[in-house]
Amino acid sequence: MAGKFEYTQAEEIRDVFRRRNVRYLFIGKSGAILLGFPDTTQDADLFLDKTETNTKAVVESLREIGFALTQEQIAEISRGKDFVQLKNGPFDLDLIFAPDGIETFDQAWKNHVEVEGFFVCGIDDIIASKKATNRLKDRESLPRLIAFRDWLKSKTK
């Protein structure tokens, strides 16, 4: 699906994941946007806990919201492949089990923020992941993300 990722789609993910007890964190630009970063994104990036129970619940959840998962995609999600890109659903979704710059899901969970029921990686983890990925588009957005982080921290003082 072309177009930008919408808030209502994030709500769909949040709600179905809550019903199925999926352990997840929004990460990347979609995570930053949920924290208030003024930008748009084409897809959602989700950091998922790599347990068998969780990956099974992820597959069930994605089917429920309309993803036509192939057997290969189900196998990749089930084994917690580092990165699974989905373009065969109501919106584009990147599932990440091993994001660059973050050691473990539990580590990221300790730093997470909850915003309107969304579980979101902390801004420092989002920035660390963008830095570690080192793609051109990430390097270009880093100064704005860092300025946004500094602004967020100044609001809490």
pLDDT digits (tens, 9 = 90+) for 13-69: 999 999 999 999 999 999 999 999 998 888 899 999 999 999 999 999 999 999 999
| Prediction pTM value | 0.94
Residue 45, SS3 per DSSP = strand
Structure tokens at 94: 């990147």
Q: Which long-range contacts (CB under 8 A, 24 or more apart) does 113-116 make?
A: 113/35, 115/34, 115/35, 116/34
d(CA 80, CA 76): 6
pLDDT tens profile 70-123 = 999 999 999 999 999 999 999 999 999 999 999 999 999 999 999 999 999 999
The correct CATH number of 7-149 out of 1.10.10.10, 3.30.460.40, 3.40.50.10540, 3.40.50.1820 is 3.30.460.40
Residue for token pair 């091993």: 98
How would you label 63-73 residue by residue, b for 16+ Cβ within 10 Å and e otherwise? eebebebeeeb
